[in-house]
């Protein structure tokens, strides 16, 4: 039987806009309070991309850092995957724009749309291309400019989201002790309308009426998503570890999608695992959707908390509905 290649992450990068939006700033926009936002979500501030910049700008910054840390030149890349629901345009893909900017002319490029689970989906796709021996060097970016799709008159959503990008370089390795071990990808389209943007697509093209009715912004049923998220994360976690005859307590780190600090704390308490195993950036960045996990990963590496040999699970959930995870030995 052909020996399958394993995939390791050899470099990470992140890009965070400079502009900070605090809860106090939001108090001036909608009927909310710092106390409500912190106690219900754990968010203290979020970042907003400055006017004149776009998804591709943040993607490029994060990608260049990941490539530099991996010591991989863009010209060596076989594939570029950008996980996002807030691309620069409906078409072409942001990954193609990024490919040109990086001059990664050997690489194929595609965007992956899987809500906040986008990065987990993209990393699993990268692993499959490497596993099969087709490619050896892939750039995966998780990026979101959600503040451009947020209704700043809707207090139930505008306090939640922020902008950011994280990137990783995934490479083939013959080291059997490291790399991606398994993954789980799930979806349930019956929940499509729990989190969606009604207008602007082919189902309801943008018109004066859709704009006037604010239908090109995100609409969310927060309570239902919350209930779904807690179950989806736990199911995925057990699925990942049981397949390797392991238990949650065997994990050195669990990088969860950052949608609400209460979701993270609920899961941590239920699993009876220590706080330090659960990286948090939602307090500073809000929910950056596809970017929460790669940014957290990058931050943990820079802080020296994520180390070679660590057993790590990354788990996300989001619009679609989608959910899933990746288990890897760092
Ligand atoms: N400030 C003050 N009050 C508010 C605000 C606000 N920003 N937002 C809502 N409220 C009010 C509501 O109107 C409601 O008032 P009422 O009782 O008078 O009707 C009250 O607060 C409680 O509202 P709930 O929605 O029940 O509040 P909850 O505690 O559930 O928190 C939240 C809402 C934070 C949205 C939570 O449900 C949540 O985080 N859900 C998960 C969201 C999520 O994970 N999204 C992932 C998306 S991933 C992706 O793909 C982008």
Give 291-303 pLDDT, tens digit per residue: 999 999 999 999 9
Peptide bond between residue 321 and the one before it cis (omega within 30 degrees of 0): yes
Taking the C-alpha atoms of 83, 87, 91 and 95 in order, what is their torsion angle to the nearest 10 degrees?
-50
Q: Which of 326, 8, 313, 324 is nearest to 183 (CA)?
A: 326
Q: Is the CB of 155 under 6 A from ligand 1?
A: yes
263 CA from centroid of ligand 1 (Å): 12
Radius of gyration of the chain (CA): 19
Q: Which two tokens stand for residue 14?
A: 């992140």
pTM for this entry: 0.95
Residues contacting residue 99 through CB under 8 Å, at least 6 positions apart = 80, 105, 107, 109
**Average pLDDT for 23-47:** 97
Given the CA of residue 322, which atom of ligand 1 is nearest to it?
Answer: 50
Whether the pLDDT of residue 85 is over 80: the answer is yes
What is the pLDDT, as a whole number, of residue 104? 98
CATH of 6-176, one of 3.40.50.720, 3.40.47.10, 3.40.50.150, 3.20.20.80: 3.40.47.10
- Alpha-carbon distance 121 to 110, whole Å? 13
Whether the pLDDT of residue 256 is over 80: the answer is yes
* Residues 49, 144 contacting (CB under 8 angstroms): no
Whether the pLDDT of residue 2 is over 60: the answer is no
**pLDDT digits 0-9 by tens, 103-150:** 999 999 999 999 999 999 999 999 999 999 999 999 999 999 999 999
The mean of the pLDDT values for the chain is 96
- Alpha-carbon distance 261 to 284, whole Å? 11
Q: Which two tokens stand for residue 96?
A: 């193609």
Q: Which two tokens stand for residue 244?
A: 């390797």
Q: Which of 33, 40, 262 to mutate to test the pocket of ligand 1 (most atoms within 8 A of CB)?
A: 40
* Residues 252, 297 contacting (CB under 8 angstroms): no
* Residues 63, 13 contacting (CB under 8 angstroms): yes
One DSSP character per residue, 142-176 reads EEEEGGGGS-TT-HHHHTTB-EEEEEEEEEEE--T
In the block, tokens 């990268």 appear at 126
Which residues are known to be catalytic?
Answer: 116, 257, 287
**121 SS3 class:** helix
Walk across the sheet containing 137-145 and list its strands. 6-15, 163-173, 137-145, 79-83, 108-112
Whether the pLDDT of residue 281 is over 80: the answer is yes
Total residue count of the chain as it appears in this document:
330
Instruction: Please give the class, per CATH, of domain 180-329.
Output: alpha beta
**Average pLDDT for 299-326:** 97
What is the pLDDT, as a whole number, of residue 1? 44
Partnered with residue 125 across adjacent β-strands are: none
Question: What burial class does residue 91 get, using C-beta atoms within 10 Å of its C-beta: 0-12 exposed, 13-18 middle, 19+ buried?
Answer: exposed
Are 6-176 and 180-329 in the same CATH fold? yes
Whether the pLDDT of residue 268 is over 80: the answer is yes
259 CA from centroid of ligand 1 (Å): 11
What is the pLDDT, as a whole number, of residue 75? 98
Share of the chain above pLDDT 90, in %: 97
Whether the pLDDT of residue 3 is over 80: the answer is no
- Alpha-carbon distance 100 to 247, whole Å? 44
Q: Which of 144, 226, 229, 318 to mutate to test the pocket of ligand 1 (most atoms within 8 A of CB)?
A: 226
Q: Is the CB of 116 under 6 A from ligand 1?
A: yes
Q: Is the CB of 319 under 6 A from ligand 1?
A: yes
Whether the pLDDT of residue 319 is over 70: the answer is yes
In the block, tokens 């400019």 appear at 145
Give the start-to-end residue ranges of the domains of the chain: 6-176, 180-329
Whether the pLDDT of residue 183 is over 80: the answer is yes
In the block, tokens 């788990």 appear at 315
- Alpha-carbon distance 136 to 129, whole Å? 8
**Average pLDDT for 49-69:** 98
């Amino acid at each position: 039987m052909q020996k399958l290649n394993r995939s390791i992450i050899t470099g990470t990068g992140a890009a965070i806009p400079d502009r900070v939006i605090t809860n106090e700033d939001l108090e001036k926009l909608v009927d909310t309070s710092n106390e409500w936002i912190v106690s219900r979500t754990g968010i203290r501030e979020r970042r907003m991309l400055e006017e004149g910049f776009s998804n591709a700008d943040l993607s490029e910054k994060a990608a260049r850092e990941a490539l530099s840390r991996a010591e991989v030149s863009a010209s060596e890349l076989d594939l570029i995957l950008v996980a996002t629901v807030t691309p620069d345009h409906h078409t072409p893909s942001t990954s193609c724009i990024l490919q040109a900017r990086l001059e990664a002319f050997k690489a194929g490029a595609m965007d992956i749309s899987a809500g906040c689970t986008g990065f987990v989906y993209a990393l699993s796709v990268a692993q499959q291309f490497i596993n099969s021996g087709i490619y050896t060097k892939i750039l995966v970016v998780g990026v979101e400019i959600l503040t451009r799709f947020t209704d700043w008159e809707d207090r139930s959503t505008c306090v939640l989201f922020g902008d950011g990008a994280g990137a990783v370089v995934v490479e083939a390795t013959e080291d059997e002790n490291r790399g991606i071990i398994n993954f789980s990808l799930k979806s349930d389209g019956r929940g499509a309308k729990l989190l969606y943007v009604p207008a602007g697509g082919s189902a309801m093209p943008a018109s004066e009426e859709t704009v006037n009715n604010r239908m090109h912004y995100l609409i969310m049923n927060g309570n239902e998503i919350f209930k779904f998220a807690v179950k989806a994360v736990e199911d995925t976690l057990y699925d990942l570890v049981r397949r390797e005859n392991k238990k949650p307590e065997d994990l050195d780190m669990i990088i969860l999608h950052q949608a609400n600090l209460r979701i993270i704390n609920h899961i941590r308490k239920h699993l009876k695992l220590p706080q330090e195993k659960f990286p948090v950036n939602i307090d500073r960045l809000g929910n950056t959707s596809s970017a929460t996990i790669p940014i957290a990963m990058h931050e943990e590496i820079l802080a020296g908390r994520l180390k070679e040999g660590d057993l790590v699970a990354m788990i996300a959930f989001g619009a679609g509905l989608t959910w899933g995870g990746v288990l890897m030995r760092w």
